[in-house]
Structure 1
């Protein structure tokens, strides 16, 4: 029996409208898949992985746009099928030379991760202003704004505290990635719409080397170019008690003297455009003095860096996401903290093996790291327990995103 053809089969406009109703557009703000800072890239790639897992569970198709990206290269964004919006420039927006606002208007919701720790005035009021302005634009266009797991505060200036509280009070949900940030939210009276989780980079995909042959003990040391050069000001910007260069030098000399140990210097920020930030340049300087130590390659992606770090037997460093890469891949680690974000995050996991360079002197920090190496079998077990906590917390974040996508999809169908 013959049936009349459905007239919609030849109507591309109908199909386009149908596809549009099924597809959700999610803006991912203040992250960068192309950043030379692999920590920022780790946040971006992990956020995208969690969001896509949620979309599969919610049974929705999804289009992702990265906003306020500082990426030097769109290569990874292209590979992961994530669009990159026009550069966030208030001047270009006012002169109508940017599609930023048009791209923002297409979003059904905005997930803003604040580059992990930049929703604060610790990096200056100008940076806080830019991070706040983009959030205000999302709210002005009535886009559901979610502050994804990140460090909240500190907010030193009174006007900063006022603006931050106003934004967070109007957000759909605020996720703190550590206990100290959650304390900030309690103080400003936003506990009811907030939740303490953990850094999304614990979900960064990586490849584990299952065929590594036994040999020398591999010790990874991440060298922060920023601390190596004294910060942006060159005058101990972060108020360290530790002599950072002296500490790194002592660690290299100590582990070099051990016949069964192999040292790997690992860069996690590859800032060609900003030499003061460049870990790799600092490592090459040290390599001239210690030519026998191994230098890890310039990694092309955060996952590549994590896959390399996962092959090590012990790790220490001052780039927090390099330490998270070690921790989340099961490697015993002693982070070198230069801000409260380290303490808050690892304390949330019940992990106390942190050398706090703002409090400890050089001898104390050195001993904390060396003792951690000596007790690495015990640290490995504590890392395993901490990863179980991180997994549960990020599962709650994914569950929230499933509910959000389902709600947005129902609204779109209406």
Structure 2
């Protein structure tokens, strides 16, 4: 008699986020779950709770169901609570870095509501690899501590997050890496000659001074000025570099257009003739496939850098938060520059020098990628053990 499918619910994931990084987490998580299902010879039924959005979902298949979520669905006993009870496992990835109280109370309260409804439903809850903290308030620390203690698995994606979880009293933490290391993509065809393709991911968020325009990320340098200097440097390089402006957060409409990388890149492309404006990608895998065709890359969107890193492209991540150094530093890739502590001149020089030794960066990244994949396997093994016990 065939076994019933494994019923898995994903929360704080997204199938249609304008942020390709958040989408990359979801696509990669589903790839991991499909692989585990094949290993166990069990069908999987994956339900993704997602906020309503006009973008077409970039994951599909007979094993994937997308359920629109809103406040009413969260509150109704026949909504999320019933779905959690009907699931064999609930996986929460915290949108990558939202399990913290620095992004506002409303988002965190929604996260806690989903977590505690899952606990009440007595369905195992897995915290997929993500940034943990910082937590600065007593109530948020207490709720985070209790929820992690009730989880079947707590996985961090970097050493700093592991330390933050343990500081909250969660001792059993799997230190994995970012699941987006598993993001599928189409490898580029071999090239014979042509210009050196240099990719710059321009953050629309940082070009506009942050969410409020008041530099709440605490940058110590002129980010728009630095981007323009980098474009000038590579356009004037004796190698005859072809500069590609590569968006990774693409907001077509609505109140969040100030975060849009594509508009920022489009304006720079008009300002600097000869640059190549990458498309407004429809999916994370499409973005990674484009980035994989470049010869050198830099960017302030972490998952754009992960796309380069995991596809063999030499990359200099341009950090505006601790998550960059946490992720890349934990697996031994020490090429991150810090826009919150270093000067624009230092960063420009570091990136220019890194370009000249990009073969060395590529070799360093290959070793770090192997370490990251090994760490990620510990998370996959923990998931497999839980799902293997499901009747």
For the superposition of Structure 1 and Structure 2, which TM-score range results when normalised by the shorter chain? over 0.9
Aligned with 2:315 (options 327, 333, 346): 333
Partner of 1:157 in structure 2?
137
Unaligned runs of 5+ residues in structure 1 are 1-17, 410-414
Partner of 2:13 in structure 1?
31
Provide the TM-score with structure 1 as the length reference: 0.90
1:10-29 superposed matches below 5 A: 22-29=4-11
Partner of 1:207 in structure 2?
186
Whether 1:282 aligns to 2:264 is yes
Whether 1:347 aligns to 2:326 is no
Q: How many residues align?
A: 388
SS in 2 for 1:311: coil
Partner of 1:189 in structure 2?
169
Cα shift at 1:280: 0.2
Cα shift at 1:70: 5.7
Q: Is the Cα contact below 8 Å between 2:81 and 2:118 reproduced in 1?
A: no
1:223-242 superposed matches below 5 A: 223-242=202-221
SS in 2 for 1:25: strand
Q: 1:228 to 1:165 in 2, by over 3 A?
A: same
Unaligned runs of 5+ residues in structure 2 are none
Cα shift at 1:211: 2.8
Provide the TM-score with structure 2 as the length reference: 0.95
The structure with the larger Rg is 1
Partner of 1:143 in structure 2?
123
Whether 1:247 aligns to 2:226 is yes
Note the alpha carbon deviations across 1:227-259, whole angstroms, 9 max, x for none.
Answer: 111111111011111211011010001111114
Q: Is the Cα contact below 8 Å between 1:120 and 1:152 reproduced in 2?
A: yes
Partner of 1:134 in structure 2?
114
Partner Cα distance (1:196, 1:403) in 2: 17
Between Structure 1 and Structure 2, the one with more helix by share is 1
Aligned with 1:402 (options 354, 359, 384): 384
Q: Is the Cα contact below 8 Å between 2:74 and 2:114 reproduced in 1?
A: no
Q: Is the Cα contact below 8 Å between 1:31 and 1:69 reproduced in 2?
A: no
Partner of 1:65 in structure 2?
47
Bigger mean CA deviation after superposition, 165-174 or 67-76: 67-76
Aligned with 1:100 (options 77, 80, 86): 80
Q: Is the Cα contact below 8 Å between 2:243 and 2:275 reproduced in 1?
A: yes
SS in 1 for 2:245: strand
Partner of 1:11 in structure 2?
none
| Alignment RMSD | 1.6
